[in-house]
């Protein structure tokens, strides 16, 4: 007995779907279906990114939609984008900043040998931009994590 | 100027990496590298799933690690697993329940034509199990979201 590991969609509950869609478009990401439907999706090399109303997403999951302003900056989860070189990470931070993203932690060399920093989207979701020399990236933009 | 949409890893900050790794193994997912390194990864059809210490993940992002007990059940984000049939969703809920997952919302037919419910992992992260007849699933377990 197992669950097929079809990790298909990460959905972000956002205060304003149009504003968030504009932000992810400004990163250069491909939007599929308009946000006029109330929900919209962005294609990635891995799991799709969904954008949906903050309260509506809570309602869908049948949990209490605490006020978004009550959410701490750290929500116990981070989203990562791996890029092939340190220069790519630097260039990506320029794109994120131009899109209006707060840079939470500037890129720096990490003790594990990589190069990494964080920005947030308009709702405070933490995105890491990362170069990890140990995780090769294929032509489709997917990483491999080799067995140790 | 754009950022390659290499959405590579979702990292969950968890109270106990070993406990969480045991949970995801119980779903039948493939663990790559042992949690003895402090961080561990699970392979999925899309973005990798990382498990890391709750406080350490906050520290990595340079944000305040509010107490995990202070995190609301709803954190403005959900993770979804798409499966080919309603029966697959029912079977997956049995696997999740056997792994000890609280079933937050039992699977039911949704007004948009699919079949969906939610469980949580040991740290309260919301996972949706979903059959969506409009999102075909390929042999690798990846969905497509056709243009509307």
Instruction: Report if residue A26 sits inside a domain.
Output: yes
Q: What is the pLDDT of residue A36?
A: 83
Same domain, B56 and B79: no
Q: What is the pLDDT of residue B44?
A: 98
Same domain, A42 and A94: no
For the segment B75-99, the average pLDDT, to the nearest whole number, is 98
Closest in A49, A74, A92 to B61, CB measured: A74
Contact map slice: A 122-141 vs B, CB within 8 A: 123, 125-126, 128-130, 135, 137, 141
Instruction: Report if residue B66 sits inside a domain.
Output: no
Cα–Cα distance between B106 and B115 in angstroms, integer?
A: 10
Same domain, A89 and A111: yes
DSSP B33: S
Residue B85 confidence class, pLDDT cut points 50, 70, 90: very high
Given a contact cutoff of 8 angstroms between Cβ atoms, the answer to whether A13 and B87 are in contact is no
> Residue B148: pLDDT above 80?
no
Contact assignment for A29 to B5 by CB distance below 8 Å: yes
Q: What is the pLDDT of residue B1?
A: 87
Instruction: Report if residue B111 sits inside a domain.
Output: yes
Tell me what the pLDDT averaged over chain B comes to.
97
Domain count for chain B: 2
Q: What is the pLDDT of residue A35?
A: 84
Tens-place pLDDT, residues A72-116: 999 999 999 999 999 999 999 999 999 999 999 999 999 989 999
DSSP B137: B
Same domain, B49 and B78: no
Cα–Cα distance between B134 and B131 in angstroms, integer?
A: 9
Instruction: Report if residue B84 sits inside a domain.
Output: yes
> Residue B77: pLDDT above 90?
yes
Same domain, A120 and A97: yes
Same domain, B5 and B41: yes
For the segment B43-53, the average pLDDT, to the nearest whole number, is 98
Mutant choice from A4, A59, A96, A129 vs B, greatest count of B C-beta within 10 A: A4
For the segment A15-43, the average pLDDT, to the nearest whole number, is 95
Which CATH number characterizes residue A88's domain? 3.10.180.10
String of DSSP letters for B8-32:
EEEEEEES-HHHHHHHHHHTTPEEE
Same domain, B20 and B91: no
Instruction: Report if residue B67 sits inside a domain.
Output: no
Contact assignment for B78 to A105 by CB distance below 8 Å: no
Same domain, A21 and A78: no
Same domain, B34 and B77: no
Q: Is B69 within 8 Å of chain A by CB?
A: no
Contact map slice: B 4-43 vs A, CB within 8 A: 4-14, 27-30, 32-34, 37, 41-43
ipTM of the complex, rounded to two decimals: 0.97
Same domain, B49 and B85: no
Q: Is A53 within 8 Å of chain B by CB?
A: no
Residue B105 confidence class, pLDDT cut points 50, 70, 90: very high
String of DSSP letters for chain A:
------EEEEEEEES-HHHHHHHHHHTT-EEES-GGGS-EEEE-SSSEEEEEEHHHHHHHHTS----GGGS-S--SEEEEEE-SSHHHHHHHHHHHHHTT--EEEEEEE-TTS-EEEEEE-TT--EEEEEE-TTS-B-TTS-B-----
Q: CA angle at residue A80 from A78 to A81, to 5 degrees?
A: 160
Closest in B6, B72, B82 to A45, CB measured: B6
Where in the sequence is the domain holding A13, given as residue range(s)?
1-61
């Amino acid at each position: 007995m197992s669950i097929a590991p079809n990790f298909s969609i990460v959905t972000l509950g956002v205060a304003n779907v149009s504003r968030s869609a504009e932000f992810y478009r400004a990163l250069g990401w491909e939007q599929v279906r308009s946000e006029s439907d109330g929900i919209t999706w962005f294609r990635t090399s891995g799991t799709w990114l969904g954008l949906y109303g903050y309260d509506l997403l809570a309602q869908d999951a049948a949990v209490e939609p605490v006020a978004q302003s009550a959410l701490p900056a750290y929500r116990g989860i981070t989203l990562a984008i791996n890029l092939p070189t340190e220069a790519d990470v630097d260039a990506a931070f320029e794109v994120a900043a131009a899109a209006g993203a707060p840079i939470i932690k500037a890129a720096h060399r990490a003790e594990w040998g990589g190069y990494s920093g964080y920005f947030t989207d308009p709702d405070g979701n933490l995105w890491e931009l990362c170069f990890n020399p140990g995780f090769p990236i294929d032509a489709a933009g997917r990483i491999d994590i080799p067995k140790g």
